[in-house]
Structure 1
Amino acid sequence: MSERKTITPAHRYRNNDRLIGIGNTFWNTSYEHGVAGIVGDLEDGVFHTPDGHEFVNFTVCSYLDLDTHPKVIDGAVASLRRFGVLDHCIPRTRVQTPVLLELEESLGELFGAMVISAISTAAASTGLLPVIASGHLGNGTRPLMVFDKNAHVSMANAKPSCADETEVVSCGHHDLDFLKDMCRTYERVCYVVDGSDSLGGYAPVHELAELQEKYNLLVFYDDSHSLSAYGERGIGYVRSHSPVLDERTITVATLSKGFGAGGTAILLDGYPEQTRRLIERFAGPLGYSQKMNAAAVGAALASAEIHRTEELTLLQGRLRSNIALFDSLVATEQSDSTYPIRVVPMTDETVIDAAKQVFAAGFYTSPVFFPIVARGTAGLRVMLRAGQSEEQIRRLCAALVRAGARPAAAAPAPGIGGEHLAATTGEGAPDGHA
């Protein structure tokens, strides 16, 4: 009997040996120290664990607290009763109820774009990117697919599928010089990047727009972390700032974070209606029977109506006020930006113990470490929200400083967080980040 073959992986686009081999040690330690795998009941914004511990979750992406808004919850329930089915489980290309069409029309008006819904951003990116790679969503030319080094895993996981259609490379985070060289070398280039990073910061949309105008660069953004929290009517950072909103800019954004509902919106400009049919038929998961259910659609419709009112402006102002208060108390690299995420620097050796100390003080901040972030850049991820009180933020910051965070240069007197900033308006990590 001949010797059976073993397989040596190429690891061209993914390396689970490294990802799991290094990252799982931190995850196991997090579980052992009680700062991961936490289960509790949520009541009035406070979690209660079975052992009696109470804490406020400062690592949740509902930046405007719309996920608990009575109108959003009522919208989900009303939609179930109205349409009479949770999920008519068949591809929408075959048969569909009007539920998704009504949502896409509402969101299309809200964001000023053609909108196609999806169950998640992962499904949207997994489906869309290979279609872009083959030239069928664009001008017909197969582009070089350039993935930003820090592109979210929901996008980065599409690299192997894209590589079966065209060439795929990775570049440094926001490496504009590399992109310019690729644009000079290749007939068409598509850059895949977060419009708003899950670890703080925005894409250089103005500089990318210059490359779009000069070289016809196609940019695929995931702007999930700025939708609702940023811009007039919550249109997000990319649509607020990019001067190129046509077929050269494609954006996906979850409706589960700031929007407070569920599912995802794909935002397209300058494409004909037949593009919708092509995406629904051939963009992988977007053609499956799994789609946004009636409850998620009802919640999203209710949230969209809130986005059309002054209440959204008020919530955005409260969020900006809370961000400013946090920045006045704890120093981070993200300080003085409008971004709602802060990473409080720690070391690999201290980050889990620091999270444990802060949790004991009544606040959850998630320890982030490789492969969530690059080696040597561990920290505690803090997400600011509109519904957090000034007292909660001050107590959290005091706990962070006791756990090793660097205090801001000058702390303000009580009262900086509040309604006086309500009228203000808004202006990345390795493949494993959340």
Structure 2
Amino acid sequence: MPQDPFDWIDAEHERRLAAGLVRTLRPRSADSSLIDLAGNDYLGLTRHPEVTAAAADAARRWGAGATGSRLVTGTTALHARLEESLADFCGFEAALVFSSGYAANLAAVTALCGPSTMSGVSPSVPLVVSDAGNHASLIDGCRLARAETAVVPHADPEAVRKTLEAHEGRALAVTDSVFSVDGDAAPLAALAEACREHGAALLVDDAHGLGVLGEGGRGAVHAAGLAGDADVVATVTLSKSLGSQGGAVLGPARVIRHLVSHARTFIFDTGLAPAAVGGALASLEVLRREPGRAARVRYVAGELHRRVTAAGLTAVRPDAAVVSVRAPSPEAAVRWAADCRTAGLAVGCFRPPSVPDGISRLRLTARADLTDRQIEEAADTVLRTAPAA
């Protein structure tokens, strides 16, 4: 009998099951009563009436989908407005919207590292210097770029500097602004200084900084004084603080022009749905009008951290909206998250291989719309369900 080509999947599933690493989908209802510290709706805008109305209006006017890639029929006047608004709000010269933040990161890394396809001359192989704690989308971008990649210790500008010193030719340093696992912030100013000493560009994934850090939530790159600089490019997601869907690359106009012609996840992907574009635009307007939302989400994160650490749990001090609480094992983390859910609280659960250091965690994502009572309730639930050390 011919061999079953997928037998290996069953064996792999059993290994993951034994290690407590099986992932499952859990559909949520539209009217869930859980306090949500698992999602990334940092500013509480996903259900904001102005945002949902704008999304619905865009769908009625432009249709349910973009109908094609951005270079064919997938660019609407609404997309252009969002790009102008994002660039203006974040302090950059230009912006380009993608169907997801993941696609935006793949585009930025691959297009900025790829050789010229028109000159007929192969330039020197570019170097990508990547932080060890970077998000999977940046890691995949490095792999797809087929450039020389050097992974340096986490949040270490001196390691970046030394790596660049040993390389001749083009180079790009890539980093998250706020790292998604522990919620700590990158030393962006020092990284930019290290890059400039060696003529390297800096690419910052500001997914967890937009809406939370910087003046009125303009992001970590803006807070570091780097927004609009000629050698700095940022990526953002529209699915966290802006409560919508999609992503964008922000940077000098010539970089954005280059991506339009060279970024495969822009050229060959269907454009972002109009409803998501309209919702993101409305969220930006709410944030402009209510800049205090950014300060509120930082306060909520600080309160969650203060309460759980005061009771003896180990948690990383948050630089933005993510509060990472250590669990003793993958199995304990899964049980802890499940017990929290039973008690009315949704939390994130990070286990290997999602965490490269092998340390399992609960991830609490702060929200600006949580009341003081909900903050207290959430912290009490985490403490009451905590596994024995």
TM-score for the superposition, normalised by structure 2: 0.85
1:117 alignment partner in structure 2: 97
CA distance in 2, matches of 1:328, 1:232: 24
Read off the aligned partner of 2:145 and give its amino acid letter. C
The Cα of 1:344 is off from its aligned counterpart by 1.2
List runs of 5+ in structure 2 lacking aligned partners.
Answer: 1-10, 118-122
Q: Give the total of aligned pairs.
A: 365
2:189 alignment partner in structure 1: 206
| 1:114-193 correspondence to structure 2 within 5 Å | 114-134=94-114, 142-163=125-146, 166-187=147-168, 188-193=170-175
The Cα of 1:135 is off from its aligned counterpart by 5.2
Read off the aligned partner of 1:103 and give its amino acid letter. L
| C-alpha contact 1:344 1:405 (8 A) present in aligned 2 | no
Q: 1:290 to 1:21 in 2, by over 3 A?
A: farther
CA distance in 2, matches of 1:135, 1:20: 43
The Cα of 1:90 is off from its aligned counterpart by 2.7
| C-alpha contact 2:56 2:275 (8 A) present in aligned 1 | yes
Q: 1:106 to 1:185 in 2, by over 3 A?
A: same
The Cα of 1:142 is off from its aligned counterpart by 4.5
1:341 alignment partner in structure 2: 322
2:4 alignment partner in structure 1: none
SS for the counterpart of 1:41 is coil
| C-alpha contact 1:62 1:256 (8 A) present in aligned 2 | yes
CA distance in 2, matches of 1:88, 1:391: 42
Root-mean-square deviation (Å):
2.7
The Cα of 1:376 is off from its aligned counterpart by 4.4
Percent of matched pairs sharing the same residue: 25
| 1:64-83 correspondence to structure 2 within 5 Å | 64-83=43-62
CA distance in 1, matches of 2:258, 2:13: 35
| 1:206-245 correspondence to structure 2 within 5 Å | 206-243=189-226, 245=228
1:168-219 CA-to-partner distances (Å, cap 9, x unmatched) read: 2222212333211221111232112111111211111121122133222211
SS for the counterpart of 2:46 is helix
CA distance in 1, matches of 2:268, 2:143: 20
1:420 alignment partner in structure 2: none
| 1:358-369 correspondence to structure 2 within 5 Å | 358-369=340-351
Q: 1:283 to 1:385 in 2, by over 3 A?
A: same
The answer to whether the aligner puts 1:290 opposite 2:254 as a matched pair is: no
2:120 alignment partner in structure 1: none
The answer to whether the aligner puts 1:37 opposite 2:37 as a matched pair is: no
The Cα of 1:226 is off from its aligned counterpart by 1.4
Read off the aligned partner of 1:283 and give its amino acid letter. A
2:178 alignment partner in structure 1: 196
Read off the aligned partner of 1:148 and give its amino acid letter. D
CA distance in 1, matches of 2:200, 2:18: 38
CA distance in 2, matches of 1:236, 1:400: 29
CA distance in 1, matches of 2:199, 2:50: 43
| C-alpha contact 1:162 1:168 (8 A) present in aligned 2 | no
TM-score for the superposition, normalised by structure 1: 0.77
Read off the aligned partner of 1:236 and give its amino acid letter. G
